[in-house]
Structure 1
Amino acid sequence: MDPELVAVVAVILAAMAFDYTNGFHDAANAIATSVSTRALTPRIALGMAAIGNFIGAHLGTEVAKTVGDGLVDLPTGVPSLGIVFAGVLGAITWNLITWYFGLPSSSSHALFGGLVGATLFATVGSVQWDNIINKVLIPMVVSPFVGLLLGFVMMVAIMWIFRRGHPGRLNRGFRWAQTASAAAMSIGHGMQDAAKTMGIVVLALYTGGFQSSSEHIPEWVYWTSATVLAAGTYAGGWRIIRTLGRKIIDLGPPEGFAAETVASSVLYFNALVLHAPISTTHTITSAIMGVGATKRLSAVRWNVAGNIIIAWVTTFPAAAFFACIIYFVVRPLFS
């Protein structure tokens, strides 16, 4: 059997496994606030998030191109496919660790860290550091601050606009509004996270010599990545949903609506305008913190937030570390 074909299939299967873990790991991004405020039942919320992810995957082409062509330069051949394989498995390892502890870390940064770590360890190919800095590291730092600030501003605006409203009627109204904001959030998640898997599949096809362009995305890649992400989302990541929905602040329907609206807006802007693969986890979590800070600073459980921030900071190097170990093990299989 053709070794290039076997290696490409192995990488694609690993990418789909990552896609699935990304789905249940990041399901909380789209639905945690809606579930915690009882705007939606858990299964309806997960189903809606799965559909939104499927739709969003078809809108994230530019993000996929950034991942597939803009992070690492690898020569064609089986050894390079071993690097991609190890990078993806490194990301899966970190996803499972953070899921076990209920920490909403970034699947995106785990994937980027895994690719960079395996490439550096293998000394085959090179890392496009300008793109890593401009499209990964800077957004990694900036997007949480933007989410925090906009979440605060959005919630202050809602409190002022509806200051004379009846609390019961307002809560019922915002529960309905959360259906729309959660749907927007799930589409934004699909635009960002399904696109990253698509980028890995395209990178594997190009590196394995099965297509001549690293930017062309076959239609089957859209459908497969979207379907697997949707399936993973529907499986649900309840540990992280509890962290985001209940442990950072006590959310009501207005707060949930504000956080989801801000986070989805930031995701759309980065995907459609900047073509930057940002973290949906960082964005929604920081928006929730910003919304909660409008009550009083002590309303945010900063000890929980601190653990989340530590997970954010360690994700990139931790995934890189695991990818290096995995590459050392699998390298003979891709020689």
Structure 2
Amino acid sequence: MDHITFLVAVVIVTALAFDFTNGFHDTANAMATSIATGALRPKTAVLISGALNIAGAFLSTEVARTISGGIVDDTLVTPGMIFAGLVGAILWNLLTWLLGLPSSSSHALFGGLIGAVWVGAGSHGVHFDKVVEKVLIPAFASPVVAGLAALLATYLAYRITARARKESVTRGFRLGQIASASLVSLAHGTNDAQKTMGVITLTLISAGALGHDAGPPAWVIASAGLAIGLGTCLGGWRIIRTMGKGLTDIQSPQGFAAEAASTTVILTSAHLGFALSTTQVCSGGILGAGLGRRLAEVRWGTAGRMVIAWLVTLPAAALVGGVSAGVVKHGGNAGTVVIALVAAAVSAFIVITSRRNPIHANNVNETHEVTIRGTAPTRVGSAA
């Protein structure tokens, strides 16, 4: 316990705060389609998702090891750098949540850490080969793979059930969605909770509390799982609306196909230690499911804004992390306090701003306007 200084404790608390924002930011990954089709009630969906996120955190630690000893040099990292990187990730998560954009919490974290370590220790502190191998390549490949798998699964689902009664098909696939959405939640906990485990483990290594190449202790696994689970239970309704109603018209067979494809990609990558973005995987699955159903409307304007957010996420978080690291590096404890106060003020402003247009469990499936193929705004979506 001698290694747990005040700064280390602050970093651990900040890491768990990021994990909490990751939870409510990414609830849509698992439950947006199930809520949109009426397979699950909104509040029931997020409670199930939260519980399974906690359970998933205990299934693997390969991604945690990738972060704690992969993308940055743990011999050069300090707790101050990690704190600065987490600030960049948290602020980006909150901003994109306010805008209802399903951006990547994972890439926000990677960007924040890369920017902070680059400024704090120099470019040699970042393992760019590992960043390309474990982050960038999966970032481009995973949504495409999930999208193609969901497209094929959707096409087959409609072909196989073409002569069946629509009511029976809907009922059957809604039951299937409960299982597939639950598996996505389990996979999300397995993949995303590990990222916070990796950050806390990296902090403990940098403080001398753990040896190099150490894995996350049991208390780190448990606290990271609990934090992401509690955040998931909060809902993240803005992004749930975007993914459930804003990308395409989702029916139960499509929701099941998208969730099944996403689960397969996420769990496979977690086993291999690829720290991919579950948001990008699930978004790719939803788009693929939209393309797989004949006459389904895919809203490419929304998809385009999401892709822009994906491209901007890592450099934007890196910029904030780098600036924060510079202040911490030159200001010491006073600089850390300044960054903490600024981050708290910006976070509070975002939360207060969100209350001007509240989205919650009772209105997440209400109709809203979208523009379809250059025509006048059309009302889509309905309470299921």
Bin for the TM-score computed over the shorter chain: over 0.9
Q: Which moved more, 1:321-330 or 1:230-239?
A: 321-330
Cα distance between partner residues in 1 of 2:121 and 2:328: 15
Cα distance between partner residues in 1 of 2:178 and 2:313: 31
Cα distance between partner residues in 2 of 1:133 and 1:249: 31
Tell me, what secondary structure is at the counterpart of 2:5? helix
Cα distance between partner residues in 1 of 2:175 and 2:139: 32
Shift of 1:330: 2.5
Contact 1:34 1:182 in 2 (8 A): yes
Tell me the residue number matched to 2:236.
237
Cα distance between partner residues in 2 of 1:117 and 1:221: 24
Contact 2:35 2:45 in 1 (8 A): yes
Name the aligned partner's letter for residue 108 of structure 2: A
Tell me the residue number matched to 1:224.
223
Contact 1:203 1:214 in 2 (8 A): no
Q: Could you tell me the percent identity over the aligned residues?
A: 44
Shift of 1:75: 2.8
Contiguous gaps of at least 5 residues in structure 2: 336-384
Name the aligned partner's letter for residue 160 of structure 2: I
Tell me the residue number matched to 1:25.
25
Tell me the residue number matched to 1:62.
62
Contact 1:60 1:190 in 2 (8 A): no
Contact 1:144 1:283 in 2 (8 A): yes
Shift of 1:214: 3.3
Contact 2:3 2:209 in 1 (8 A): no
Tell me the residue number matched to 2:100.
102
Cα distance between partner residues in 2 of 1:19 and 1:216: 18
Cα distance between partner residues in 2 of 1:297 and 1:66: 42
Tell me the residue number matched to 1:149.
148
Shift of 1:326: 1.5
Tell me the residue number matched to 2:172.
173
Tell me the residue number matched to 1:247.
246
Tell me the residue number matched to 1:193.
192
Name the aligned partner's letter for residue 28 of structure 2: A
1:3-25 CA deviation, whole Å, 9 max, x = no partner?
86112111101100100000000
Cα distance between partner residues in 2 of 1:233 and 1:106: 15
Cα distance between partner residues in 1 of 2:45 and 2:69: 34
Residues 230-309 of structure 1: matches in 2 within 5 Å?
A: 230-272=229-271, 274-296=272-294, 299-309=297-307
Tell me the residue number matched to 1:314.
312
Tell me, what secondary structure is at the counterpart of 2:292? coil
1:181-204 CA deviation, whole Å, 9 max, x = no partner?
011000000011000000000000
Contact 2:249 2:296 in 1 (8 A): no
Contact 1:148 1:291 in 2 (8 A): yes
Contact 1:152 1:294 in 2 (8 A): yes
Name the aligned partner's letter for residue 146 of structure 1: V
Contact 1:136 1:278 in 2 (8 A): yes
Contiguous gaps of at least 5 residues in structure 1: none
Contact 2:22 2:228 in 1 (8 A): yes
Tell me, what secondary structure is at the counterpart of 1:299? coil
Cα distance between partner residues in 2 of 1:203 and 1:214: 9
Return the match for 2:328 from 319, 330, 333: 330
Name the aligned partner's letter for residue 60 of structure 2: G
Name the aligned partner's letter for residue 203 of structure 1: L
Tell me the residue number matched to 1:182.
181
Name the aligned partner's letter for residue 98 of structure 1: T
Shift of 1:101: 0.2
Tell me, what secondary structure is at the counterpart of 1:73? coil
Higher relative contact order (CA 8 A, sep 6+): 1
TM value normalised by structure 2: 0.84
* CA separation of 1:297 and 1:285: change in aligned 2, threshold 3 A: farther
Contact 2:74 2:212 in 1 (8 A): no
After the TM superposition, which segments of 4 or more aligned residues of structure 1 sit over 4 Å from their partners?
A: 1-4
Contact 1:52 1:187 in 2 (8 A): yes
Cα distance between partner residues in 2 of 1:28 and 1:87: 24
Shift of 1:231: 0.3
| Higher percent of residues as helix | 1
Tell me the residue number matched to 1:114.
112
Q: Which moved more, 1:119-128 or 1:10-19?
A: 119-128
* CA separation of 1:172 and 1:288: change in aligned 2, threshold 3 A: same
Shift of 1:2: 7.0
Contact 1:202 1:214 in 2 (8 A): no
Name the aligned partner's letter for residue 231 of structure 2: G
Tell me the residue number matched to 1:162.
161
Contact 2:147 2:286 in 1 (8 A): yes
Cα distance between partner residues in 1 of 2:292 and 2:31: 22
1:37-58 CA deviation, whole Å, 9 max, x = no partner?
0100111100110111011101
RMSD: 1.7
Cα distance between partner residues in 1 of 2:215 and 2:3: 23
Tell me the residue number matched to 1:85.
83
TM value normalised by structure 1: 0.95
Q: How many aligned residue pairs are there?
A: 332
Cα distance between partner residues in 2 of 1:56 and 1:216: 17
Tell me the residue number matched to 2:365.
none
* CA separation of 1:3 and 1:215: change in aligned 2, threshold 3 A: closer
Tell me the residue number matched to 2:369.
none
Tell me, what secondary structure is at the counterpart of 1:119? helix
